[in-house]
Each structure stands twice: as C-alpha cells, then as structure tokens.
Chain A
Amino acid sequence: EPEVTQTPSHQVTQMGQEVILRCVPISNHLYFYWYRQILGQKVEFLVSFYNNEISEKSEIFDDQFSVERPDGSNFTLKIRSTKLEDSAMYFCASSQDSNQPQHFGDGTRLSIL
C-alpha cells in the first residue's frame, strides 16, 4: 500500500539554526499538508499546499516557516530560525483531492536544544 514517507525520523538542532524536514507524499496525491504535535498535546494543522502554492495556513505558520515542492516528489517544511518551542513531532500528510482522506507519514521528531 502506498504511504507517505518522512525523513529524518529524528532531527536535533541548535536554537536559531535552520532546519528542513522532508516528505515524499503518495505519488498520485495532489494536496499536501504539514501538522505538528507537541508532546502530550493535540495534532495541530500548520499548512496546506496545492498547485504549487499555499492554500491555507494556521496562526502557528508564521514567517519563520515555509514550504516548498522542489521537484515532482518531495515536499519540504523549512523553519528558518528555530526556537525551543518548535520542538514537536512534525507530520506530513497528503490527499488525492480536497475532500478525500488525508494520509499521514510517521513524522519527524524535532528537538531544539
């Protein structure tokens, strides 16, 4: 069964450094998403992406965050200058259409020191 894959599984970064989290969505999916889950809390929406542009973003997704689809298979989340509170699990998801289920990867655990 096709799945969303994310790399790395764990990223440790110094505060203030840039980090890029990578995702390979399911190949025939057109909609891509990032969510995050701070330890012990709910999964929170960050951003959705379709047709090479952001379609919706949350308040969390400020100007320190950006997303990109650099080629036909990868979807990345960049945090420009990381803060301690960015420590969380980051999940990538994709869906075939906007009204179809979103399928999630197993996440990248981001630890900011």
Chain B
Amino acid sequence: GESVGLHLPTLSVQEGDNSIINCAYSNSASDYFIWYKQESGKGPQFIIDIRSNMDKRQGQRVTVLLNKTVKHLSLQIAATQPGDSAVYFCAENPILTGGGNKLTFGTGTQLKVEL
C-alpha cells in the first residue's frame, strides 16, 4: 500500500509580523513542556521550556503559554525573521508524576516567513 507521511500544518507570516504556533498535548499528567525548532537536515534545537506550575514564560523574542485546562500550548515569536523559518515541535514530558524523562513530540508546524 501507499506510505503516507504526516501532512504538516503550515503557518505563513510576513517578515516582522508576530507568529503564533499552537499545540494540543494529550497526557494530562505531563508537567514539563518544551518547544523545539528543526531546520532542514538538522536535529531539534531547544527554544524554550515551561513547567506546569507556570502559565507563561518569556525568552528572547519568544513566549510560551500553557493552558492546562484545555491541554494547550502555544509559542509566540515576535518580529518574525527569515531565519525563523523551520518546523516547530512541542514536546511533553510527565517528569514529576513518575513518567520518566522521555519526550513525546507533537506533529510539528512548518513556519514560512515571507519577505
């Protein structure tokens, strides 16, 4: 039969605009979340993390929001640049509830920055 890969959702933004990438996670026991950026031919690159005792965390040009009620995570990138073009993954990890330290990755979102 035909092998079908995942169809990545794509977000296209203009350079200089803000980007918002969303992620729904599945495990209500997850208490640690990480956003990774993956450029073509490279491994996942750590961007920012957040623990379940927080609902917002800011980094340089990036903000992560966590809504545990609806199991939703978002990554906001301010003033998006061409170098931000990549696939973005959220990953979850149920550390504190004894789930070990394996990451479960989401599907990923392709961010395309248009000049």
Give me the interface of A with B, judged by CB distance under 8 Å. 4, 6, 31, 33, 35, 39-45, 48, 55-56, 58, 91, 93, 95, 98-99, 101-107
Contacts and interface: CB of A to CB of B under 8 A. Distances in A.
Q: Which of A35, A43, A105 has the most CB of B within 10 A?
A: A43
B63 interface: no
A40 B6 contact: yes
Contact of B95 (A4, A40, A55, A99): A99
Contacts, number: 65
Interface stretch (B19-27, B38-46, B66-74, B75-83): B38-46
Interface residues of B, number: 25
A106 B41 CA distance: 7
B88 interface: no
B10 to A, nearest CB: 14
A98 B43 contact: no
A62 B75 CA distance: 35
B101 A31 contact: yes
A43 B100 contact: no
Contacts of A95: 101
B5 A39 contact: yes
B102 A56 contact: yes
Nearest to A38: B5
A42 B26 CA distance: 15
A103 B46 contact: yes
B43 A105 contact: yes
